Amino acid sequence: MTTITPLTASIDEATAIAPDLVTGFESTRDSQTLFHSVIGRAYPDITLRPASLRRGTLTMLFASGDAESLSATAEDLHAAAGLFELTDPDRASVAMTYVVSGAVGRALEDETRDAWLLSVDFQEVAS
């Protein structure tokens, strides 16, 4: 089961988010290799650097219990300034500490009209 825990003192740390399912996880890592053009030479000098931490979009489904209230609480928590820790024992590769880097969106799922989807643009940070 996926759990998202607020790590910032300004957010109620007892409030962990447990969506029913992570329906989407997309991440990218930007190369930080530097290219230095050299006058009179066809090829650049390069400085190799490791890629940045992940950034992307996390989409969560809230479908059980009071899904509307749970998704609204999750939206409000992500709208507050803070650090979050994502853990999932079934998908260890998605574990990270992150901050919200862009939009936080919540939508009523079209098919059942009972479930809610929450999407969060994230930037992974050092834990």
pLDDT in tens, 81-119: 889 999 999 999 999 999 999 999 999 988 888 999 999
8 A C-beta contact, residue 106 and residue 37: no
Domain with 87 in it: 3-125
Q: How far apart are CA 1 and CA 94, in angstroms?
A: 12
Q: How far apart are CA 116 and CA 17, in angstroms?
A: 14
Res. 10: pLDDT tops 70: no
Q: What is the CATH number of the domain that holds 61?
A: 2.40.30
In the structure, what pLDDT confidence band is assigned to residue 39 with cuts at 50, 70 and 90? very high
**Number of independent structural domains in the chain:** 1
Phi, psi of 50 (to 5 degrees): -65, 155
Q: What is the DSSP letter of 93?
A: G
Mean pLDDT to the nearest integer, 11-37: 89
Phi, psi of 10 (to 5 degrees): -75, -15
Task: Look at residue 125 in the predicted model and tell me its pLDDT.
Answer: 97
Q: How far apart are CA 102 and CA 120, in angstroms?
A: 7
